[in-house]
Structure 1
């Protein structure tokens, strides 16, 4: 197989070129300076490196470029693929439906990018880990469940899961030959890394209870030392467990940090231009209303105006009116949809509860996050200011509008002193973080569009 064939084989199920959408009158402001990059700040797809953003590349193109380069150099190490093999995930499509329940992992299992063994593994999940299921799919006569694990979401085969009907079903594994003496230690701690494990005992051989995200507060009441490592016995969420000293710091009560757990739903492969309705599905899911993204895609209001170019002018629909173009394929012209039709569709499922914050400052978004509600937004696909050269004027049935194709919709889930956190339906990443000033600059350009619920 040629290198070109290899890239197609690996990425036919991952390749995305983005939500080519939208309009808003650009805010005239200087391009913000780039701050020193945090290597862990951007995590597209299943990598942990930061994509380089250039003026010639949008967010979606950067993902493709980075993943292609990784495939060339590290296809075996990263994906478990041989260069002479063609993956079964090529051209494989599946339909996911809502599911729920708590399951136990019966053996060490892989969390995969999609429902099938041909999809790359994201991470290995320990035996006896509890998982919450929110979608299921049947592929090649095998059932797969879509689950959240730590800060990732992915698919696990039903063959390695057992449904938990009661807590008595959970098997407790005890570590052998470990003796320790715990002493009283009263201190408030916080997770100091992106994700820290809590275990049933003070050693890595004890099973993991859960994984907590950065800045989660813990109440320590005991500590001990095992094999040279200090461990703290802590209270969290009404439970107790042990954390290693290397993943915690003293709690900082002055730090402003808010993070909300909301469903993570992938727009691909069914909805190449469906970031707006997929982000709405995540918002509704947090409110307890589980609506399939494909249902929302079929119900969203549309502007049927066809795409035309005449005398150097572009004629197309207005995303303020409804979805413009084709949401399901890049083979036909397509753009996207703005806040008003999204809010109207959300109102169907949460009557009287949808709140359209569009036009407000970002302080209104902070207020909703502090109240425990995630916020649907439209940003540029760079999550930063996009220069005028990437905007163009369209003629629509309701007048001329300014449009950029570098647009993307995400669900904002939190913030701290430096970053905005969000669930990204394209990168399929939960709590992705971007520099606060950069994110807000891009959001301002797209007209301060934001929707939430009360």
Structure 2
């Protein structure tokens, strides 16, 4: 009888030790995983606690992965190179300005290297009896006319030029239609912007506009069209590299420049770095 009692006691002791060990092992695991062991909690309380833990975890991961937008500086300036369109490319302001951007990025190409890759709209020019243009190419399809100036030429718009930009800089971005503040943010972050404006950086007069028919339908435009590289700004001015002028950071009144940019359809190209 005594032997039986000793056996029962020993069995109970072993079971108790096993359960105690399991309990402390569970506590240790919960401590390591930073969870709570809610003794006496009902199922609803448990679900609520799990939900809170999950919510906090998601918040933490989300804040870790947010790409914080840099605060825009009150003024900024980028020391980008100047590339002149002349003497080879009388009408080549766009390809020369794109070359400035490429050279700043680190791409060792000249405007003449890039010229064969520039998209063209070969539509021949046709005139009305009064000498005005009746039918010609569309700059949204490619460069219109003769870029060298030996014959009549016009230019190229953002849609067609963007193809060449992303060929060399896959992270290129078309900022056309965005607010000018976003262009300034680009410069603030260290990225120059190719901008469509006019040769005088002012809004064209009504008599400087014209309309001709094209493969995409009628297009209203002006021979005052020009492109420059936006490299800086402050409260009242922008600073540009103009492919017609061998000078860095030409200072221009911001209000009049924005008006000229808006008149040309708010066209702009730039890029970001992954």
TM-score by length of 2: 0.70
Q: Is it true that 1:275 corresponds to 2:126 in the alignment?
A: no
Query: Are the aligned partners of 1:360 and 1:448 in contact in 2 as well (CA < 8 Å)?
Result: yes
Unaligned runs of 5+ in 1: 1-254
Contact 1:359 1:449 in 2 (8 A): yes
Pair 1:264 & 2:77 matched = no
Q: Quick one: distance in 1 between partners of 2:169 and 2:260?
A: 28
Is the Cα contact below 8 Å between 1:274 and 1:297 reproduced in 2?
no
2:134 maps to what in 1? 314
Partner of 2:148: 328
Cα distance in 1, alignment partners of residues 129 and 85 from structure 2: 36
- Does residue 348 (structure 1) correspond to residue 167 (structure 2)? The answer is yes
In proportion to residue count, which structure has more strand? 1
Task: Give the RMSD, CA atoms, in angstroms.
Answer: 1.2
Q: How far apart are the structure 1 equivalents of 2:199 and 2:225? A: 5
1-structure distance, mates of 2:253, 2:224: 18
Q: Tell me if structure 1 keeps the 8 A contact 2:175–2:267.
A: yes
1:343 positional shift: 1.0
1:401 corresponding residue in structure 2: 219
Where do 1:16-31 residues align within 5 Å? none
Q: Is the partner of 1:411 in helix, strand or coil?
A: strand
1:421-432 equivalences in 2 (<5 Å): 421-432=239-250
Which structure 2 residues correspond to residues 195-234 of structure 1 after superposition, within 5 A? Answer: none
Measure, in 2, the Cα distance between the counterparts of 1:385 and 1:310: 27
Aligned to 2:253: 435
Q: Secondary structure at the match of 1:408?
A: strand
| CA–CA distance in structure 2, aligned partners of residues 262 and 326 of structure 1 | 28
The answer for the alignment partner of 1:4 in structure 2 is none
Which stretches of structure 1, 4 residues or more, deviate above 4 A after TM superposition? none
In the TM superposition, residue 267 of structure 1 has moved relative to its aligned partner by 1.1
The C-alpha deviation readout for 1:351-403, integer Å capped at 9, x for no partner, is: 2x101000111011011011110000110112111111110111101100101
Q: Which runs of 5+ in 2 are unaligned?
A: 1-72
Q: In 1, are the aligned partners of 2:75 and 2:188 still within 8 Å (CA)? A: no
Q: Distance in 2 between matches of 1:299 and 1:314?
A: 28
Displacement, 1:418? Answer: 1.3
Q: Size of the alignment, in residue pairs? A: 198
- Equivalent-residue separation in structure 2 for 1:257 and 1:442 (angstroms): 21
Other structure's SS at 1:399 match: coil
Deviation at 1:311, TM superposition (A): 5.0
Query: Is the contact made by 2:238 and 2:254 (CA closer than 8 Å) also made in structure 1?
Result: yes
Q: Which has the larger radius of gyration?
A: 2
* Greater relative contact order (Cα < 8 A, sep 6+): 2
Matches of residues 151-190 of structure 1 in structure 2 within 5 Å?
Answer: none
Residue 122 of structure 2 corresponds to residue 304 of structure 1: yes
- How far off is 1:310 after superposition? 3.1
Matched with 1:287 is 105
- Structure 1 length normalisation: TM-score? 0.43
Q: How far did 1:299 drift?
A: 0.9
